[in-house]
């Protein structure tokens, strides 16, 4: 389907499509943040440890307080683009009801967290002001 046809379909559906960028930024890796609270901390630890044991994933600390842009406690899983399909597929099936926020690492922290986010479960508001300049 041509881009003109796509635009016509999008217009009929009341959507506005952004033009495709000429180049895509390089994705150096991904971070999946498993969110938890006091009642689900051990569940989150088990999910993160299992992911670490099954895949080429680096498991970060269990942050018991919100850190960075994250609104709740979390644990970070870092992995390479080559592991994306396996890790994300496994998390989708094994997150045990936990919210998982995943983003690429392109070097543009604001866009990575705001525009390129992938959510499993509820979408929570991030504290993005820390990435804004000016």
Q: Which CATH number fits domain 25-131: 3.40.47.10, 3.30.1120.10, 3.30.70.1240, 1.10.520.10?
A: 3.30.70.1240
Beta carbons of 122 and 99 less than 8 angstroms apart: yes
Query: Is residue 32 classed exposed, middle or buried when 0-12, 13-18 and 19+ CB atoms within 10 A define those classes?
Result: buried
Give tens-digit pLDDT for 62-78. 999 999 999 999 999 99
Give tens-digit pLDDT for 90-116. 999 999 999 999 999 999 999 999 999
> Domain spans of the chain?
25-131
Residue 126 to residue 112: CA distance in whole angstroms: 12
């Amino acid at each position: 389907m041509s881009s003109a046809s796509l635009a016509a379909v999008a217009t009929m559906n009341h959507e506005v499509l952004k033009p495709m960028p000429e180049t895509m930024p390089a994705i150096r890796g991904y971070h999946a943040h498993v969110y938890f609270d006091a009642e689900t901390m051990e569940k989150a630890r088990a999910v993160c440890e299992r992911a670490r044991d099954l895949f080429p994933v680096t498991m970060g600390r269990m942050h018991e307080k919100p850190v960075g842009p994250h609104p709740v406690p979390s644990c970070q899983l870092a992995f390479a683009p080559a592991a994306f399909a396996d890790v994300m597929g496994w998390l989708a099936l094994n997150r045990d009801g936990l919210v998982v926020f995943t983003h690429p690492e392109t070097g543009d922290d604001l866009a990575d967290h705001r525009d390129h986010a992938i959510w499993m479960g509820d979408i929570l508001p991030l504290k993005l002001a820390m990435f804004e300049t000016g």
